[in-house]
Amino acid sequence: MVEPKVQGNISPVGENKPRIDAREKVTGAAVYADDIQFGNGLLHARIKRSPHPHALIKKIDVTKARALPGVKAVVTGEDFPGYIGLYLQDRYIFCRDRVRYVGDPVAGVAASSVEIAEQALDLIEVEYELLPPVLDPEFGAGAEAPLLHPDLGKYVVANFIFPQAGTNISNHFKIRKGDVDGAWEQCAAVVERKYRIPHIQHVPIETHVAIAKVEVTGEITLWGSSQSPFAQRNLIAQSMGISQSKMRVIAPFVGGGFGCKAGVSMEALAVAIATKVKGHPVKLVLTREEEFYTAFVRQGLVAYFKIGCDAQGRLLAMENKFYWDGGAYTEYGVNVTRASGYSSSGPYEVPNIKTDSCCVYTNHPVGGPMRGFGMPEMHAGLEQCIDELALQIKMDAVDFRRLNCLKTGSSLVTGSRMHPTGLPQCIEKAADAIGWGRKAPASAPNKRRGKGLALMWKAPAMPPNAGSSAWVELAEDGSLNVGVGGQDLGQGVFTVAAQMAAAALGVPYESVRVAIPVDTRYSPYEWQTVASRLTWSMGNAIVNAAKDARRQILETVSAAWEEPIENLDIVNGVVISFKSEKEVPLKNLVIYGLPKPDGQGWRGGPIVGRGNFMPTYVTGLDPETGQGERAVVHYTTGAQAVELEVDLETGRIDILRGVSAFDVGKAINPELVKAQMEGGFVQGMSSALFESLQLKGGVLQNPSFVDYRIATSTDAPKDLEAFIVEVPQDDGPWGARGIGEHSMVPTIPAIANAIYDAVGIRLDGPPFTAEKVYLAMLDAGIVK
C-alpha cells in the first residue's frame, strides 16, 4: 500500500476551522442556550451542600421540602449506595455517613423552577456531629491526624495506585534509584528548600452544566459540558449498578475545561436526581460561586527538595518529598501524585534519586486534574533549586542546564532511556531569544529588571491501556466524514483531526467534516480528552481509519484496472495510476463501486474505514523502587524564559517578554501549536502572579472574580515568542506528540528566577503578588 505523503504544514494555515454546517452548529451549541429543546417538562435541580469541612451526618429530614408546591423530587445518599471514582472509588454520589468538605453534596432537589428548588433546599434539615478537620497535607500524612476515610483499605483502586490503609495517604509513590545517601559526600554544593503551592481554580468561562433524562424503560441520556463522555458513561453506570449500554452521554462543545470537566464531578448528581422523575429532563448548573469550590480544584502541594552537584556542575543526587493536598476525595489526585513521582527528577539526568510522593486526604475541596497535571507545581520548586545550585558553584544557570538536561539516550528516573528529544535545542532557542547574559536597563529609576529561564518535561499521565478509535466514511460527492470521541475544548482538535484524515487518505482538507457532537451511542470510543494525548493517540486512530478506507479504495481500483496497488495513489480526491495514467474521482466509486467489464456486475461498495490505537508497550513499575522498562509513552520537553521588571515602591511585577520553545515532534498545525504555547504561558503567568484559593478553616474566602484574580489581556506581555522544535516521536502520527498542557509547566519557576535576578529575593511559593514581593524586599533590606 502507498503511504500518504505529507510535506510541511498538512493544510494551509489560513484554513484552521473544522467544517461544520449550520445544522451541526445548532446541535453543538444550542443545548444550553434555552430550554426549548427539552420542552415544558424540564425540571431544575439544586444541591444541598455541607456547611462544614468534616462532620458525621446524624439525620436528614426532607419532609418539608417534599411538601413544597413545585418540588418533584428530593433525593439523598440513602438511595445511592454505590461508590464512584476513576482511579480510586472513594466517594458516594450523595454523602451517606459523613461530609468531608464545605460543599459536599448532601441532598438534591428537582423542581419546576430554580427558585422553588432553592426554597426547598432551605427546608431540608440536616443534623451534624462536627469532627476535627485536616487542613494541611503534611499534618494529614502523620499518625496524629484524624482519619478521614476509615474504609480506605476496602476501596476499589487501580493496580498502579498504592493507598495506605489506616492512614490519610491514598497513594504513596516511591522512587529509589542509585545510592542517594552515599552520594551526598561527593557533592560540592547542596540546596535544600521547602515550597508550598496553593490550590487554584480552573475558572472556565462556562461553569459546569448537565441535563439528565431517565426514560421509563431505564434508558439514561446525559447532556454535559464534558471532557470525558465515555468515562462518564462507564463510571456513572458502574456506580448506579446499570449496564453501560443503557447510559448515553452527549457532549457538545465545551466552554473551557483545563481539566476540571474531566472524569465525573457534578454530572452524577443530575443523573441520580433524574432517576426519581422518569420522563423529565433535569438540568443542573453550577453557579460561579459553586464552580470555585464544588468542582475540581488544582491540588495544593508541600514540597521538599534536596539536590546536590559536583564542582563541575554535574548533578549527583536528589531527594524529594511531596505532600499533595488531594482534598476530600482523591479519585484523580492519586494519579497526579504518581505522575509527579515518575517525573520527579525534572528534565535532568540524575544518577541517584529518592522520591516519596504522597496523596493526602484533607478537608479541602476535591483536588483533580488541571492543565499540567502536577507538573507546574512540582517544577515550581525544582527549577528554582537548579538556579540556586548553579549560583553556589558560580556557574551560569543556562550552562548548568545544558550540562545536565536530558538528551537522547539519557537514563531516566524510572530506569528507562530517553527517547529522541530536542530539549537542548529548546534551551538554545529560549536563551537566545530572551537575550540571556545581556542585561537591559530598567524603564524607570524605581524599577529593577531581571531574566529567568526554566525547563520542563511531561508525559501523558494515563493508564497503560487508554485507547482511541475513529471511523471515516465517504459520501456520494467524495467528501469525508470523520467520527471521533475526543472533545474540542477550544484547542482545535477537530481541525487537527480533519487535517490528519485528509492527509492520510489523500483528499482536500476542505472536503472533510468532523461528526459532532460527541455522542457515546454513535461516536467511536475515546478514553478522555486529557493528558495532551489526542493529537498523538486519537491521531493514530484517525490515520489508521483513513488507511483502512484507502486500502479498500485502492483494492477496488486495482482489481478494476488490473494494476498492482503499488502503481496507485490518491491525490486531491482522485485515484491515479503512475503507470497507465488512468484516473477516477473518489465520488465516482466510494458509494456504488466500479462496474465490471461487459455488464458482469459491480465491485466495491460504500467505503467505511475504521481504526484504533492503544499503546501496548507501557510496562508497570516496581512499587518499592519505581523502576521499570517503560513507565510512559513519551515525554514532551521544553523551555521558557521571561524578562520582567519589579517596582521597588509597590512590589508590582510587569512581565515584559515571554519566550517558549517546545519539542512537539511534528507540528501538525503550527499556528495552533504556537497558540497553545502563548495561551499556556499566560495561564501559567496568572497562576504565578495572582491565583490562590484562600481557605480558612476549610472555608473558601474568595469564591468570585471580585476576590479571585486571573490574568487578563492587559497583564499579558506585549512580546510573546513561540519556537517549535521538531524531533519526531517514533509512535506519533508524522512524529507528533502533545503540547496542550506543557506550556504552562515552567512558567512559575521562570518568573521566580527572573524575580531573583532582578531584586535578589525568593518566596516560598506563588502567587508572587505585589504585597508579598514588597514585604520580602523589605525583610531583605532591599527597600526601606
Q: 661-679 pLDDT, tens per residue? A: 999 999 999 999 999 999 9
Burial of 217 (0-12, 13-18, 19+ CB in 10 A): exposed
pLDDT the model gives residue 37: 83
Neighbour tally for 739: CB within 10 Å: 28
| pLDDT band with cut points at 50, 70 and 90 for residue 36 | low
Mean pLDDT, residues 156-179: 98
How confident is the prediction for the chain on average, in pLDDT? 95
Cα gap 194→471, rounded to integer Å? 50
The alpha carbon of 279 is separated from its chain's Cα centroid by a whole number of angstroms, namely 35
Mean pLDDT, range 438-464, rounded to an integer: 97
User: What per-residue confidence (pLDDT) applies to 580?
Assistant: 96
| Angle, CA 225 vertex, CA 220 and CA 227 arms, to 5° | 100
Average pLDDT in the 61-73 region?
Answer: 98
| 386-391 average pLDDT score | 98
- Residues involved in catalysis: 741
Percent of the chain at pLDDT > 70 equals: 95
pLDDT at 35: 56
Task: List beta partners, residue 503.
Answer: none
Q: pLDDT tens across 534-554, in order? A: 999 999 999 999 999 999 999
Element (H, E) at 782: none
Q: What's the Cα-to-Cα distance from 375 to each of 181, 188, 749, rounded to whole Å?
A: 26, 28, 11
9 pLDDT higher than 50:
no
Which three cell numbers, joined as nine digits, stand for 764? 516560598
Grid coordinates representing 772 are: 508579598
Contact 655, 717 (CB under 8 A): yes
Q: Is the pLDDT of residue 3 over 90?
A: no
Q: Which residues contact 331 (CB under 8 A, 6 or more apart)?
A: 84, 85, 86, 87, 88, 89, 90, 91, 263, 368
The CA distance from 649 to 651, in Å, is 6
Is pLDDT of 274 > 80?
yes
| Phi and psi, residue 517, nearest 5° | -75, 165
Give me the residues paired with residue 250 across strands: 223, 519
Residue 776 pLDDT level (bands cut at 50, 70, 90)? very high
Ordered domains of the chain (ranges, CATH): 8-30+466-613 (3.30.365.10), 33-131+208-285 (3.90.1170.50), 297-462+620-779 (3.30.365.10)
- Count the Cβ atoms, other than its own, within 10 Å of residue 486: 31
Is residue 311 a contact partner of residue 336, using CB atoms and an 8 Å limit? no
**Hey, which residues does 91 pair with through a beta bridge?**
84
Averaged pLDDT, 175-184: 98
- Going by the DSSP 8-state scheme, the letter that residue 503 receives in this structure is H
In angstroms, the CA 391 to CA 382 distance is 14
- Cα distances from 477 to residues 53, 480, 585, 605, in angstroms, run 61, 9, 9, 14
The 10s digit of each residue's pLDDT in 461-476 is: 999 999 999 999 999 9
DSSP output for 351-391:
SEEEEEEEEEE-SSSPEE--TTTTHHHHHHHHHHHHHHHHH
**Burial group, residue 591, by CB count within 10 angstroms (0-12, 13-18, 19+):** middle
State how far the Cα of 521 lies from the Cα of 248, in Å rounded to an integer.
6
Mean of pLDDT values over 175-186: 98
